[in-house]
Chain A
């Protein structure tokens, strides 16, 4: 496969950045999107150019590091996958592919496609934890949890914090991320004592970081590699309202 890539190049946080066009030849359809970028980078290094910086770690869809907007869609158009799990066979030979970093004020570009997602860490630091030492896993039935709650909590807990929800949201809102983190604790017994103070602190931190508000467009859940449902946002809103009373 031969491809034309239009990639956002930005040498550092203070650089204004621009789109640069690259031709990549002999790409195997079995390559992942990141492997295709590796091929480009090897050539750039040989030619003495600066390789395209992009975040990646596990390359098996669970770490949440690789994130880029491919042809205007976070993680590309394939549903429920991270960029590393997107394969080149989903693109046509000769296609032009636009690759951009996540765009949001709280996610400043570090270099090229790498953005600083520390804002997510600060939202977690504001309350996304259980203060008491919960110890090792309790015996299966020592604390009964409804099957539905356990399932919903687990669904929410699958959030890998990749930031695609923010990138896709027309408002640059971090609601789906924050809601997933709030929901997975607020549905389980260990999360109850701090349930309301947690929701309040995390929602306020989300605003303080400069993310936008939620307008329930559903763009976030559509691109989420883990398919976190919009219901989690209702859970967050409910807990926040109770805390505000």
Chain B
């Protein structure tokens, strides 16, 4: 007679202890938000390159700089009305900045929820701690600077030449040696932008799946070029090279 042995599974069936996972869609997933960060970041980097090249025209002469500022407003005329292109650029930038901040805040909150109990020992960074220190608070610093920068050189509210003045005059008056502290604000802010981009540009490629360690020096080089290009005009004006 053959005995039949009731055989259970070798191990307990794995019950799903977790609650049914909430539906994660692309834009609500952490990866999706990172892609939003990357794409909006890329838009802003491209803008910065154009902005920097435009600034450098002050070295050719005040007229060249003013003509360039005027051309930005009259480009595409008469096909499109005054300021068409500039307005479009402004809209794209405002949307990019908004989405970039939204993604950053959302990801920061998710990160905080992921570690409700902090470490007692001061957590020693094993990877230089650069990113942790620079990106989030650096981003806030840059946002505050952008507000000042727009009030100063775009709207002229805090500029000695006021609102109704030529762009080159605002720029030269703004960085006058007597206003050395303004130049210091710009130097600090631009260096912060550079540090932000050094990680940001590399991170952007990593997020869209094209990152390798080899891209890090490239990101650092691009950031350095932008920092030098942006700091050259204010420093030249403050030290009297451009009058």
Contact = CB atoms under 8 A, between A and B. Distances in A.
Pairing of A with B = yes
Interface of A: 6, 8, 19, 69, 71-73, 77, 98, 100, 103-106, 118-119, 121-122, 125, 168, 170-173, 203-219, 221-223, 229-231, 233-241, 244
B207 interface: yes
Contacts of B17: 118
The 3 residue pairs across chains A and B that have the minimum distance between CB atoms: A238-B209, A172-B114, A213-B30
A204 B131 CA distance: 25
Contacts of A222: 126-127
B117 to A, nearest CB: 5
Contact of A240 (B31, B114, B118, B213): B31
A213 B21 CA distance: 17
Nearest to A239: B209
Interface string B97-109: 0000000000100
B154 interface: no
A100 B119 contact: yes
Interface of B: 14, 16-18, 21-22, 24, 26, 29-35, 107, 110-111, 113-128, 130-132, 135, 199, 202-203, 205-213
A240 B123 CA distance: 31
Chain B interface mostly: loop
Contacts, number: 154
A173 B111 contact: yes
B35 to A, nearest CB: 7
A19 B118 CA distance: 13
Contacts of B127: 217-219, 221-222
A72 B124 CA distance: 6
Contacts of A234: 205-206, 209-212
21 contacts: A100-B120, A125-B14, A170-B111, A173-B30, A203-B30, A204-B21, A207-B30, A211-B30, A212-B30, A212-B114, A212-B115, A213-B111, A216-B131, A217-B127, A219-B127, A233-B206, A234-B206, A234-B212, A237-B207, A238-B208, A238-B210
